[in-house]
Amino acid sequence: MSLKVFDTLRDDRIPFTTVREGKVGMYVCGLTVQGPPHVGHMRAAMVGDLVHRSLRWLGYDVTFLNNFTDVDDKIIVKAAEDGVDYTTVAERNIESYFRFVDLLGMKRATLYPRVTQHIPEIQTLIATLIQKGVAYAAGGDVYFRVEKFQGYGKLSKRKTDELRSGSRIEPGEQKESPLDFALWKAAREGEPYWDSPWGRGRPGWHIECSAMAMKYLGECLDLHGGGIDLIFPHHENEIAQSEAATGRTFSNFWVHNGLVLLEGTKMSKSTKHFYLAEEISNIAEPATIRYYLLSTHYRSPIDFSQERLDEAGTAFSRIRQTAEGLNGVLGAPTTGVEEPIAPESLAQPEIRTALVDFRASIEDDFNSAGALGHLFSLSRTLNRMMAEPSSGEKEARIKEGYRVFHHLVSLLGLDVKAPEVEIPEIIRDLARQRGEARAAKEWGRADEIRKELTERGWVVEDRGGETVIRPLK
């Protein structure tokens, strides 16, 4: 088996190849930090994380860039509203983004480049485009001449003449054609600016990604990702700028994630129909959110609701239950099992199959949902083993499964530790009283106390010799 990746441009799953043997340069469009991250940003970041982790797991040396567009019209507007500097707005939201990246167990990208730190590179790229005749300065702005780029529309499958009918020139713009897009925007009074050969201004949206990606990853990227809603115009324009400048293919693979839905429809900032990452983390545990995000294939839409998240929590607790059981037998692992495990080295067919099938799913366009299915199968296998009467042989078999289980769990970044909960003294006390009642075989009283505990939101489980107290939900 080998990795296949769905490429938006070629509209098919293609055997994955890289520009440089064994190395991957990938770029995922991060956010324009005009506001705090919402669930959609989290999904895109999770997909980037899944791809990042999977490629590493498969043995690639990955350089992963995830940018912040930290200066643009909306950030400037927001800053004016709040009466603060635009950098304050950007900084605030970037911090918030990182908080959720960590909370959801994502591996940090290699680099998080920011637009404001790459103005010279952006200006150089613009100058190259002007020099090649595919861009022109007009009234302090610089525009990309879309008609000059023959491949325009190849990613989004659009024809330029069809696009023309729907577009128009905004007042104040001096475009030659309505299709042309800004590479550089002249600063108006009071707006942040950088000096440039075309006057004071700031980069347009799109150009920053091309400049930053090429600076760190070279002219030809292996993989470029982002939300499906970025295909047009953002990624189409990135291709136009980059390829017009270099004459080379900008990215070999275009990976786009499906959108997050709310009650079946798209989130939208303008209608206030969206979930902030903050809000979601209030209604579900981060580990559950991660599990949920992974349980649907990345290209499909995913619907967020309390009901779905609750269900995901129940499903995920099954995985955790196994982890807990394994800890009881072998102790909690001190670290994730990162080193590769060769299937041939596994003695038990069921465990070997789980690993092989899991890998096949990941190699099939990062199919995390399929992979989770195989993890559940492994979970059942292990639960069954643990239920067997003990013997030395049993331990050895469980040990093999334990390694594979933690190996797969750590690839997916799932936090299988039961969440730490503080058990109030009064609850402990009630449980203690119930224990005494049970010891005295006063079942009526014991059940009475359990009922009391349930009403207070706690569950007691008598497992073998010991009693476990856990929160109801």
Partner RNA sequence: GGCGCCAUAGCCAAGUGGUAAGGCGACGGUCUGCAAAACCGUUAUUCCCCGGUUCAAAUCCGGGUGGCGCCUCCA
Answer yes or no whether residue 173 interacts with RNA by CB under 7 A. no
Separation between Cα atoms, residue 445 and residue 273, nearest integer Å:
50
Span near RNA by CB under 7 A; candidates 85-93, 150-158, 330-338, 417-425: 150-158
Answer yes or no whether residue 22 interacts with RNA by CB under 7 A. no
Three-class SS state of 251: strand
Three-class SS state of 242: helix
Answer yes or no whether residue 13 interacts with RNA by CB under 7 A. yes
Q: Which of residues 417-456 bind RNA (CB under 7 A)?
A: 438, 443, 446-447, 450
Candidate residues 17, 306, 314, 345; the one interacting with RNA per rule CB under 7 A: 314
Peptide bond preceding 233 in cis form (omega within 30 of 0): yes
**Token pair 């022109």: residue:** 136
**Token pair 């059981």: residue:** 325
> Residue 361, exposed/middle/buried by CB under 10 A (0-12, 13-18, 19+)?
buried
Taking phi over 0 as left and psi of -120 to 50 as alpha, with beta for the rest, 140 belongs to left
Answer yes or no whether residue 327 interacts with RNA by CB under 7 A. no
Rounded to 5°, the CA angle 401-403-408 comes to 95
Q: In terms of CB distance, is 19 or 377 closer to RNA?
A: 377
- The distance of closest approach from Cβ of residue 174 to RNA in the complex, given in angstroms and rounded to an integer, is 17
Candidate residues 58, 315, 329, 356; the one interacting with RNA per rule CB under 7 A: 315
Separation between Cα atoms, residue 170 and residue 231, nearest integer Å:
22
Answer yes or no whether residue 236 interacts with RNA by CB under 7 A. no
Encoded amino acid at 17, one letter: T
Answer yes or no whether residue 380 interacts with RNA by CB under 7 A. yes
Separation between Cα atoms, residue 381 and residue 58, nearest integer Å:
25
Q: Which of residues 248-277 bind RNA (CB under 7 A)?
A: 257, 259-261, 264-270, 274
Q: In terms of CB distance, is 27 or 60 closer to RNA?
A: 27
Answer yes or no whether residue 229 interacts with RNA by CB under 7 A. yes
Span near RNA by CB under 7 A; candidates 191-199, 211-219, 300-308, 344-352: 300-308
Q: In terms of CB distance, is 19 or 92 closer to RNA?
A: 92
Q: Which of residues 191-210 bind RNA (CB under 7 A)?
A: 205
Q: In terms of CB distance, is 38 or 53 closer to RNA?
A: 38
Separation between Cα atoms, residue 234 and residue 227, nearest integer Å:
10
Contact between 263 and 283 (Cβ < 8 Å): no
Q: In terms of CB distance, is 271 or 334 closer to RNA?
A: 271
Answer yes or no whether residue 67 interacts with RNA by CB under 7 A. no
CB-side exposure of 156: number of CA atoms within 13 Å?
Answer: 21
Answer yes or no whether residue 390 interacts with RNA by CB under 7 A. no
Separation between Cα atoms, residue 42 and residue 279, nearest integer Å:
12
Separation between Cα atoms, residue 451 and residue 195, nearest integer Å:
72
- The distance of closest approach from Cβ of residue 196 to RNA in the complex, given in angstroms and rounded to an integer, is 21
- The distance of closest approach from Cβ of residue 366 to RNA in the complex, given in angstroms and rounded to an integer, is 9
Answer yes or no whether residue 43 interacts with RNA by CB under 7 A. yes
Separation between Cα atoms, residue 333 and residue 401, nearest integer Å:
13
- The distance of closest approach from Cβ of residue 410 to RNA in the complex, given in angstroms and rounded to an integer, is 19
**Total of residues contacting RNA (CB under 7 A):** 84
Pairing mode, strands 466-471 and 61-66: unpaired
Answer yes or no whether residue 58 interacts with RNA by CB under 7 A. no
Phi, psi of 145 (to 5 degrees): -90, 95
**Token pair 């990955």: residue:** 62
Answer yes or no whether residue 167 interacts with RNA by CB under 7 A. yes
Pairing mode, strands 265-266 and 302-304: unpaired
Candidate residues 183, 214, 240, 460; the one interacting with RNA per rule CB under 7 A: 460
- The distance of closest approach from Cβ of residue 330 to RNA in the complex, given in angstroms and rounded to an integer, is 16
Q: In terms of CB distance, is 31 or 71 closer to RNA?
A: 31
Span near RNA by CB under 7 A; candidates 9-17, 55-63, 336-344, 424-432: 9-17
Span near RNA by CB under 7 A; candidates 27-35, 103-111, 244-252, 330-338: 27-35
Candidate residues 117, 131, 174, 300; the one interacting with RNA per rule CB under 7 A: 300
Separation between Cα atoms, residue 173 and residue 181, nearest integer Å:
10
Q: In terms of CB distance, is 217 or 323 closer to RNA?
A: 323
Q: Which of residues 345-364 bind RNA (CB under 7 A)?
A: 361, 364
Strand 141-144's sheet: what is its strand order? 135-138, 141-144, 181-186, 201-203
Alpha-helical runs (H) found in 179-305: 207-217, 236-246, 277-283, 286-294
Answer yes or no whether residue 383 interacts with RNA by CB under 7 A. yes
Answer yes or no whether residue 177 interacts with RNA by CB under 7 A. no
Beta strands in 268-323 (DSSP E): 302-304
Answer yes or no whether residue 101 interacts with RNA by CB under 7 A. no
Candidate residues 379, 410, 412, 458; the one interacting with RNA per rule CB under 7 A: 379
